[in-house]
Amino acid sequence: GKVHVKPDSVFPFENVSGFDPNCVRNPTTQHETTGIREFMGRDADQPFCLVVALTEPHIPWVMGDASRYPKKNLKLPPNIADTPRTREDYSHYLAEITYMDGQVGEILDVLEKTGQADNTLVLFTSEQGCQFPGCKWTNWDTGVHTGLIARWPGHVKAGTRTDAIVHYADVLPTILTLANAAEENFAELDGKSFVDVLLGKSSTHRDYAFGMHNNVPEGPSYPIRSITNGKYRYIRNLSPNEIYIERHLMGGGNLNNPYWATWLQTAADNPHTYKLVHRYMMRPAEQLYLTSADPYEMTNLIDSPEHTAVLDDLRTRLDAWMKSQGDPGAAEDTWDALKAARNGEHLYVAPKVEE
């Protein structure tokens, strides 16, 4: 399926056919499960790790049956403007989620038929938030907070939930731990195993999660950093005097989303839409949200005297994290830095920690 790997040498995976690697093909090539079935059953005595990267939901949102989600019945979240075109696109977006859910079911059916469903850990997560303004390409909760679902009969208790904070970087060490990998395999990994959370032995994992967004090549430089403790989220916009521009949303190509134009067209007559457009394009230097009570992060508490202590704590911890990662801030969001990273030659790296 879909991959975002540069250079290829970093992840020398075996490629298993069956799912379209092109996330913007219209329509998506019809999937088939022969490849993953053969892979699962190829070496009966050998454990396997299979990553199936589904392309849906992703623009152009053409898969699935949108009639199952009548536009007039949709309840749009408060961070998405309510226009007829937005409702149409949101309906197609939900249809693609349903289509993708069917693909997951087919994959699980294949696993069941190989007789390995009961001894296989299945993890399901997504890449980021949806492609509506204020979600993907942002550090708001709707951009960087995704679900993580685990299925492992006899080990992960069905129906349980956890508020444990997990990074994507934690998935690999978790898999290595379950595979009884040698200790030296963990030496250069950024993440840490959350096996104890999966097994119900712990209800916590990380105290904080960090986020970063560099806008190049999606548009002009607009670097963003963030931190959350699960209750509050602090966002730092490193170029607050600039206008945020994202070419996939605001451009005129075939894959751009025409609903954005309807936001602009109606903003003058609709105060809420105007607020959303302004919120997306003109951001302050700092933002603080009580995400646990304000899940769409619509109320900025940065100037609230009651939240000074938590603000100071999150500021300090974000500063420390950026320093530990060798993150220079705005200098990271440049074409030179991007080109170097794509070649595996990063301009900025974390300082070595002396043992």
Q: What is the pLDDT of residue 354?
A: 61
Please give the structure tokens belonging to residue 175.
């898999």
Structural domain contains residue 228 = yes
Nearest in space to 276 (alpha carbons), one of 259, 263, 288, 286: 263
Is the pLDDT assigned to residue 52 strictly greater than 80? Answer: yes
Query: What share of the chain has pLDDT > 90, as a percent?
Result: 81
* pLDDT (mean) for 226-234: 98
Annotate 71-83 with b (16+ C-beta within 10 A) or e (fewer): beeeeeeebbbbb
Q: Do residues 62 and 28 make contact, with C-beta atoms less than 8 angstroms apart? A: yes
Is the pLDDT assigned to residue 255 strictly greater than 70? Answer: no
How confident is the model over 295-326, as pLDDT tens digits? 999 999 999 999 999 999 999 999 999 999 99
Please give the structure tokens belonging to residue 50.
């299979």
Query: What share of the chain has pLDDT > 70, as a percent?
Result: 98
- The lowest-confidence range among 5-14, 23-32, 328-337 is 5-14
How many domains, the chain? 1
Q: Do residues 170 and 205 make contact, with C-beta atoms less than 8 angstroms apart? A: yes
Segments forming the whole domain that contains residue 235: 207-244+282-345
Structural domain contains residue 235 = yes
Is the pLDDT assigned to residue 70 strictly greater than 60? Answer: yes
Is the pLDDT assigned to residue 344 strictly greater than 80? Answer: yes
Is the pLDDT assigned to residue 127 strictly greater than 90? Answer: no
Structural domain contains residue 333 = yes
* CA gap 186, 193 in Å, rounded: 10
Q: What is the pLDDT of residue 187?
A: 86
Q: What is the pLDDT of residue 13?
A: 86
**DSSP-derived secondary structure for 295-321:** TT--S--TT-GGGHHHHHHHHHHHHHH
Structural domain contains residue 68 = no
How confident is the model over 11-51, as pLDDT tens digits? 888 899 999 988 888 899 999 999 999 999 998 888 999 99
Altogether, the residues listed in the chain come to a count of 355
Structural domain contains residue 200 = no
Please give the structure tokens belonging to residue 55.
């392309």
- Write the CB contacts of 11 (distance below 8 Å, at least 6 apart in sequence): 3, 5
SS3 69: coil
Q: Residue 6: pLDDT band by 50, 70, 90 thresholds?
A: confident
Identity of the amino acid at 338: L
* CA gap 309, 23 in Å, rounded: 43
Structural domain contains residue 239 = yes
Is the pLDDT assigned to residue 177 strictly greater than 60? Answer: yes
SS3 241: coil
Structural domain contains residue 225 = yes
Q: What is the pLDDT of residue 355?
A: 54
Is the pLDDT assigned to residue 252 strictly greater than 80? Answer: no
Structural domain contains residue 218 = yes
Question: Residue for token digits 């961070």?
Answer: 79
How confident is the model over 263-304, as pLDDT tens digits? 999 999 999 999 999 999 999 999 999 999 999 999 999 999
* CATH number for the domain that contains residue 317: 3.30.1120.10
Is the pLDDT assigned to residue 253 strictly greater than 70? Answer: no
Q: What is the pLDDT of residue 23?
A: 86
Please give the structure tokens belonging to residue 155.
């080990």
Per the prediction, the chain carries an average pLDDT of 94
Give me the numbers of helices (H) and strands (E) for the chain, helices first please.
Answer: 10, 6
